[in-house]
A and B are shown apart, each in its own frame.
Chain A
Amino acid sequence: MKLRFILALWAAKLSQPLLKITGHKGTNFPGELALKLCPEFLRYIAKPARIVAVTGTDGKTSVTNLICDMLEASGQRVLSNRAGANTNAGVSTCLLSGATIFNRTRFDVAALEVDERSAGRVYPYVKPQLIAVTNLFRDSIMRNGHPEFIASFLTANLPAESRLVLNADDLISSSVAPDNPRVYFGLDRLPTDVTDCINRLNDLRICPKCAGKLEYEYRRYHHIGRARCADCGFRSPDYDYEGKDVDLANMTITVADKSGSQTYRLLSDSIFNIYNLLTAVAVLREMGMDHQTIAGLAEKIDIVSSRFQAEKVGQVEVVMQMAKDRNALACSRAFDYVASRPGEKEILLMMNNLSDEVEWSENVCWLYDCDFEFLNNEQITHIVTTGPRGKDYNLRLRLAGVPEERISWARKEMDAADKLYLRPGSSVYILYGADNRSLDMGFRVREKVVKLAEEAGK
């Protein structure tokens, strides 16, 4: 087996410069090759002494990047699959790139994003000291089915020795692997919290223990909040790391734990990104960093620009907002965020999964779990739907109450940009999908919108 591993290591290593020369950067091929030649490649590949993994439905790329950025800013050599290649092949590619040809690691710590469904192929060989689970929601129905299934899958596959950093505000993910050591983070009541669910997607409507009625002390969105069962008393766990005093005017949050509290700079005003920061702080605290050091590191970093990017072009603001396709939760959060932004805005709705279009035809069930109703907002004056599922978006928007006169449609994405009004003082939000083809298309459309906005501003 050892000889097989060395052959796999060298062959996969050799493939990396070859891929670069041939212009095939950023693929999982080296990891796939290594696993093909040596199925237990992940067992033998050299790993940094400290490993932290991040998993969960939403936010794992952002949290991994935050952890990685802050650790790097602290001077540590950090190995990370930050681009989001999070399957066993992606993790193999990442660890391979961090090892020498003599199989010695060149890094102090690894921050790994691990896809939930890859847990069974990664964790038998990679044993992180810490695993953060951001949350569990209904994700792609094709891959994940429902969060109850993913929670049970994680419970069966997370290493028994890993300490878990869990979201106390999510009764699904906070219940995984009950025998593992754990700490909880959570965000104290916010002025915008409610008690009844206003979202279509609500993955936990009954007590996970006794099927009784859940009552929420406060609910942030969907099933996220603090709940207790009226029948059996089961309730959300207490916070070990409590986010509180969120101040959006000054963009700060306080994080308190048993050792004290610290004010942190917020990197974004969206609640989802506040949770992402809180998760990263909890992980770094568990890695032994003090609050003051982490707060200093947080000053030096930003969120990844491929997910959110705003730019003033002429008299129009052009905003790129990723809205993960096929994911009702991610799109609901993006819609809620966009609707809550001040000012008049137009939206270019193009979260089509263009890779699906090559393979088959996108399953659109998620549209009816998703809160398109947030887009029925007076300040959203115009929505352009486009791409292969443009007609489905059109119907869904109508059912959400958006008046017909506010909706335009163009089959081709590049033509959709021409439908925008680009009124002075307004914003244009381009909501684009997360698969590689959709990312590429999103940024091509952005270029055209920028050009049109420049011309309109002359």
Chain B
Amino acid sequence: MKIEVIYPEICNLYGDLMNAEYLARSCGAELVNTGLKEKPRFLSEKIPLVFMGTTTERGQELARDAFAPWLDGLKQRTRAGGLTLLTGNALELFGEYIQEEDGNRIPMLGLFPIHAERRMMARYNSLYLGKYGEMDIVGFKSQFSHSYGDNGEGLFTTTRGAGLNPGVKAEGLRWNNLMATYLVGPLTIVNPPFAKELLRLMGVEEPHLEFEEAAMDAYRTRVEEFSDPNRGFTYH
């Protein structure tokens, strides 16, 4: 079993890469890295999970250019039910464009009918509490932009914090098993139930996480913390 990490040389901010590593370590999968100048393996091999993490603003353009030839392959994979996880601003690559402060629009891959609006001097930092089905999701947002447009029901339903933007409850994007979220960092580690769900979707029959007990202990503490209405939720 393989997990493919797309463009780790640029899509590696905020500990995001640990998501793929944790899942791989939990199910014994092989982690394979695909660089900017390489053809993704999911186009020709059975890859149960494709992962792409957060990058810089320059990185978004490099990743867009590198991935554009393979977009149809991703569509085919997604129609067939293949699992893909995008975290942080990797989500924006698959919108229509990113609008900068001066109005300049940077075209993106256009898979989803959304666009991002970037404000480099107004970084948004927030905790996140939401739901994936009945499952509590906790996480962190730290971003220069929000996205706008139709994201349907999104990936998560927000309880506290921002959805795709602070005005909506639906967080992230979902098309079949293509999942994208603005949450950054060790999403799978701080959400062991969600990590197990991803393993199930990868085809692991009885998923068990590495150090699951310790992960669940930290998760329960965080869910309790983030559910406390007296807990501040944004960073200034």
Contacts and interface: CB of A to CB of B under 8 A. Distances in A.
B29 interface: no
A391 B123 CA distance: 28
Interface stretch (B10-18, B68-76, B147-155): B10-18
Interface stretch (B94-102, B107-115, B218-226): B218-226
Contact of A391 (B56, B210, B217): B217
A399 B22 contact: yes
A240 B227 CA distance: 55
Given A141-B14, A142-B123, A364 B185 contact: yes
Interface residues of A, number: 32
B222 A361 contact: yes
Interface of A: 138, 141-143, 145-146, 148-149, 200, 202, 205-206, 211, 328, 356, 358-361, 363-369, 391-392, 394-395, 398-399
A253 B175 CA distance: 59
Interface in B179-236: 184-186, 189-190, 210-211, 214-215, 217-218, 221-222, 225-226, 231-236
A142 B142 contact: yes
A331 B234 CA distance: 24
B62 interface: yes
B123 A392 contact: no
Contacts of B140: 363-365
Contacts of A202: 12
Contacts of A356: 235
Q: Which 8 A-B residue pairs are closest in the complex by CB-CB distance? A: A368-B15, A365-B185, A360-B232, A368-B18, A205-B9, A391-B218, A142-B125, A365-B14
Contacts of A145: 123, 142, 144
A364 B235 CA distance: 13
A141 B142 contact: yes
A84 to B, nearest CB: 20
A420 to B, nearest CB: 21
Contacts of A399: 22, 25, 189, 210-211
- Most chain B Cβ neighbours within 10 Å, of A143, A364, A365, A368: A365
Q: Is the interface of B mostly helix, strand, loop or mixed?
A: mixed
A206 B36 CA distance: 10
Contact of A149 (B57, B185, B214, B225): B57
Contacts of A141: 13-14, 142, 184
Contacts of A206: 9-10, 36
A146 B143 CA distance: 11
B60 to A, nearest CB: 11
B232 A359 contact: yes
Nearest to B88: A365
A57 B32 CA distance: 32
Nearest to B228: A361
Given A360-B127, A361-B226, A368-B15, 4 more contacts: A146-B56, A328-B15, A365-B184, A365-B185
Contacts of A369: 14-15
A142 B17 CA distance: 18
Nearest to A397: B214
Contacts of B57: 148-149
16 contacts: A142-B142, A145-B123, A145-B144, A146-B13, A148-B56, A149-B56, A206-B9, A360-B233, A363-B235, A365-B14, A365-B140, A365-B142, A365-B186, A368-B186, A398-B214, A399-B189
Nearest to A147: B56
Interface in B1-38: 8-10, 12-15, 17-18, 22, 25, 36
Contacts of B135: none
Nearest to A368: B15
A364 B190 contact: yes
Interface in B35-52: 36
A148 B15 contact: no
A148 B235 contact: no
